[in-house]
Amino acid sequence: MRDSGNQGLPVKIWVPSEQQIKAALELIQPAPKVRALCRIAIIQALERIEWAKLWVYAPGAVKRKLNNYAKKLRAIDDSEIRHYLTKSVVDEVTRLRKWFAQTADKLEVRHGSKQKSKAKRIAVEFAYAILASFRKTPSLTYRGIWHKLALILYGGKAADLFDYMRESYRLRKF
Protein backbone atom coordinates (compact mmCIF):
# COMPACT_ATOMS: atom_id res chain seq x y z
CA MET A 1 0.00 0.00 0.00
CA ARG A 2 1.14 3.51 -0.65
CA ASP A 3 -0.02 7.00 0.27
CA SER A 4 -2.65 8.54 -1.97
CA GLY A 5 -0.76 11.83 -2.25
CA ASN A 6 -3.61 13.87 -0.78
CA GLN A 7 -2.17 15.68 2.21
CA GLY A 8 -5.53 16.20 3.94
CA LEU A 9 -6.76 12.61 4.05
CA PRO A 10 -4.89 9.70 5.66
CA VAL A 11 -6.02 7.27 2.93
CA LYS A 12 -3.97 4.38 1.61
CA ILE A 13 -4.37 3.05 -1.91
CA TRP A 14 -3.73 -0.62 -2.50
CA VAL A 15 -1.92 -1.53 -5.69
CA PRO A 16 -1.58 -5.19 -6.69
CA SER A 17 1.96 -6.49 -6.97
CA GLU A 18 2.96 -6.91 -10.59
CA GLN A 19 5.46 -9.58 -9.50
CA GLN A 20 2.71 -11.66 -7.88
CA ILE A 21 0.50 -11.32 -10.95
CA LYS A 22 3.32 -12.28 -13.31
CA ALA A 23 4.36 -15.27 -11.15
CA ALA A 24 0.76 -16.49 -10.94
CA LEU A 25 0.25 -16.19 -14.69
CA GLU A 26 3.49 -18.10 -15.35
CA LEU A 27 2.37 -20.86 -13.01
CA ILE A 28 -1.17 -21.12 -14.39
CA GLN A 29 -0.25 -20.70 -18.06
CA PRO A 30 -3.78 -19.88 -19.25
CA ALA A 31 -4.74 -20.02 -22.90
CA PRO A 32 -3.95 -16.74 -24.72
CA LYS A 33 -7.63 -15.90 -25.30
CA VAL A 34 -8.48 -16.10 -21.55
CA ARG A 35 -5.23 -14.62 -20.23
CA ALA A 36 -6.86 -11.21 -19.60
CA LEU A 37 -9.72 -12.84 -17.65
CA CYS A 38 -7.22 -14.85 -15.62
CA ARG A 39 -5.27 -11.67 -14.82
CA ILE A 40 -8.47 -10.00 -13.59
CA ALA A 41 -9.28 -13.02 -11.40
CA ILE A 42 -5.78 -12.91 -9.91
CA ILE A 43 -6.09 -9.19 -9.14
CA GLN A 44 -9.49 -9.76 -7.50
CA ALA A 45 -8.00 -12.56 -5.40
CA LEU A 46 -5.07 -10.38 -4.32
CA GLU A 47 -7.46 -7.60 -3.34
CA ARG A 48 -9.68 -9.91 -1.24
CA ILE A 49 -6.64 -11.41 0.49
CA GLU A 50 -5.26 -7.95 1.27
CA TRP A 51 -8.59 -6.90 2.81
CA ALA A 52 -8.68 -10.09 4.87
CA LYS A 53 -5.18 -9.33 6.17
CA LEU A 54 -6.27 -5.84 7.21
CA TRP A 55 -9.48 -6.83 9.01
CA VAL A 56 -8.25 -9.30 11.59
CA TYR A 57 -10.21 -9.60 14.80
CA ALA A 58 -9.77 -12.34 17.34
CA PRO A 59 -13.11 -13.97 18.20
CA GLY A 60 -12.41 -13.58 21.93
CA ALA A 61 -11.89 -9.82 21.54
CA VAL A 62 -15.09 -9.46 19.52
CA LYS A 63 -17.04 -11.48 22.07
CA ARG A 64 -15.72 -9.28 24.92
CA LYS A 65 -16.62 -6.13 22.97
CA LEU A 66 -20.17 -7.32 22.30
CA ASN A 67 -20.65 -8.33 25.95
CA ASN A 68 -19.33 -4.92 26.99
CA TYR A 69 -21.90 -3.18 24.75
CA ALA A 70 -24.67 -5.35 26.21
CA LYS A 71 -23.48 -4.48 29.73
CA LYS A 72 -23.57 -0.73 28.99
CA LEU A 73 -27.07 -0.99 27.52
CA ARG A 74 -28.17 -3.00 30.56
CA ALA A 75 -26.91 -0.11 32.72
CA ILE A 76 -29.24 2.22 30.81
CA ASP A 77 -32.12 -0.19 31.40
CA ASP A 78 -31.35 -0.32 35.12
CA SER A 79 -30.76 3.42 35.66
CA GLU A 80 -33.14 6.29 36.35
CA ILE A 81 -32.58 7.71 32.88
CA ARG A 82 -34.99 5.22 31.35
CA HIS A 83 -37.90 7.06 33.02
CA TYR A 84 -37.04 10.17 30.98
CA LEU A 85 -36.84 8.34 27.64
CA THR A 86 -39.70 7.59 25.30
CA LYS A 87 -41.05 4.05 25.13
CA SER A 88 -39.65 3.55 21.61
CA VAL A 89 -36.12 4.48 22.76
CA VAL A 90 -36.36 2.14 25.75
CA ASP A 91 -37.61 -0.65 23.46
CA GLU A 92 -34.73 -0.02 21.05
CA VAL A 93 -32.17 -0.11 23.89
CA THR A 94 -33.65 -3.40 25.13
CA ARG A 95 -33.68 -4.87 21.61
CA LEU A 96 -30.06 -3.87 21.00
CA ARG A 97 -28.96 -5.23 24.39
CA LYS A 98 -30.55 -8.60 23.62
CA TRP A 99 -29.02 -8.64 20.12
CA PHE A 100 -25.50 -7.92 21.45
CA ALA A 101 -25.86 -10.61 24.14
CA GLN A 102 -27.20 -13.22 21.69
CA THR A 103 -24.55 -12.45 19.08
CA ALA A 104 -21.80 -12.74 21.70
CA ASP A 105 -23.21 -16.09 22.84
CA LYS A 106 -23.17 -17.41 19.27
CA LEU A 107 -19.48 -16.61 18.75
CA GLU A 108 -17.29 -19.66 19.09
CA VAL A 109 -14.03 -18.98 20.90
CA ARG A 110 -11.50 -21.75 20.47
CA HIS A 111 -9.42 -22.02 23.61
CA GLY A 112 -5.86 -23.26 23.48
CA SER A 113 -5.45 -23.29 19.73
CA LYS A 114 -4.13 -20.84 17.19
CA GLN A 115 -6.66 -18.58 15.48
CA LYS A 116 -7.44 -19.54 11.89
CA SER A 117 -6.36 -16.97 9.31
CA LYS A 118 -9.13 -15.72 7.05
CA ALA A 119 -6.54 -14.41 4.56
CA LYS A 120 -4.90 -17.84 4.25
CA ARG A 121 -8.27 -19.52 3.77
CA ILE A 122 -9.22 -17.00 1.09
CA ALA A 123 -5.85 -17.50 -0.66
CA VAL A 124 -6.41 -21.26 -0.77
CA GLU A 125 -10.00 -20.92 -2.01
CA PHE A 126 -9.13 -18.41 -4.73
CA ALA A 127 -6.14 -20.49 -5.87
CA TYR A 128 -8.41 -23.52 -6.26
CA ALA A 129 -11.10 -21.52 -8.09
CA ILE A 130 -8.60 -19.89 -10.47
CA LEU A 131 -6.95 -23.20 -11.29
CA ALA A 132 -10.31 -24.91 -11.79
CA SER A 133 -11.44 -22.10 -14.10
CA PHE A 134 -8.32 -21.53 -16.19
CA ARG A 135 -6.42 -24.79 -16.10
CA LYS A 136 -7.69 -28.02 -14.53
CA THR A 137 -9.07 -29.04 -11.16
CA PRO A 138 -6.06 -29.24 -8.86
CA SER A 139 -5.20 -32.16 -6.61
CA LEU A 140 -4.16 -32.02 -2.99
CA THR A 141 -0.37 -32.32 -3.01
CA TYR A 142 2.23 -30.57 -0.92
CA ARG A 143 4.20 -28.17 -3.15
CA GLY A 144 1.82 -28.95 -6.01
CA ILE A 145 0.43 -26.29 -8.33
CA TRP A 146 -2.48 -25.45 -5.97
CA HIS A 147 -0.09 -25.00 -3.06
CA LYS A 148 2.32 -22.89 -5.14
CA LEU A 149 -0.43 -20.62 -6.44
CA ALA A 150 -1.88 -20.15 -2.94
CA LEU A 151 1.59 -19.17 -1.69
CA ILE A 152 1.97 -16.65 -4.53
CA LEU A 153 -1.46 -15.14 -3.86
CA TYR A 154 -0.89 -14.98 -0.11
CA GLY A 155 2.48 -13.34 -0.65
CA GLY A 156 4.54 -15.38 1.77
CA LYS A 157 6.89 -18.14 0.76
CA ALA A 158 7.07 -19.39 4.35
CA ALA A 159 3.31 -19.39 4.93
CA ASP A 160 1.89 -22.71 6.08
CA LEU A 161 -1.14 -23.20 3.84
CA PHE A 162 -1.33 -26.96 3.48
CA ASP A 163 -3.61 -27.42 6.51
CA TYR A 164 -6.03 -24.91 4.96
CA MET A 165 -5.83 -26.79 1.65
CA ARG A 166 -6.56 -30.09 3.37
CA GLU A 167 -9.61 -28.59 5.10
CA SER A 168 -10.87 -27.07 1.84
CA TYR A 169 -10.32 -30.33 -0.04
CA ARG A 170 -12.18 -32.34 2.62
CA LEU A 171 -15.15 -29.94 2.38
CA ARG A 172 -15.18 -30.21 -1.44
CA LYS A 173 -15.34 -34.02 -1.42
CA PHE A 174 -18.88 -34.02 -0.02
pLDDT at 7: 55
In a domain, 102, yes or no: yes
Write out pLDDT tens, residues 111-146: 776 677 888 999 999 999 999 898 888 888 888 888
Residue 156 has pLDDT above 90, yes or no: no
Expressed as residue numbers, the domain containing 25 is: 17-56+117-172
In a domain, 70, yes or no: yes
* HSE toward the beta carbon, residue 66, CA cutoff 13 A: 18
In a domain, 33, yes or no: yes
User: Do both 167 and 121 map to the same domain?
Assistant: yes
pLDDT at 11: 56
Specify the pTM: 0.64
**What is the number of domains present in the chain?**
2
User: Do both 72 and 151 map to the same domain?
Assistant: no
pLDDT band at 172 (very low <50, low <70, confident <90, very high): confident
User: Do both 52 and 64 map to the same domain?
Assistant: no
Vertex 42 angle, CA 38 and 46, to 5°: 170
In a domain, 7, yes or no: no
User: Do both 95 and 136 map to the same domain?
Assistant: no
Buried b (16+ CB within 10 A) or exposed e, 17-39: eeebbebbbebbebeeeeeeebb
Provide the phi-psi class of 5: left if phi over 0, else alpha when psi is between -120 and 50, else beta.
left
User: Do both 34 and 74 map to the same domain?
Assistant: no
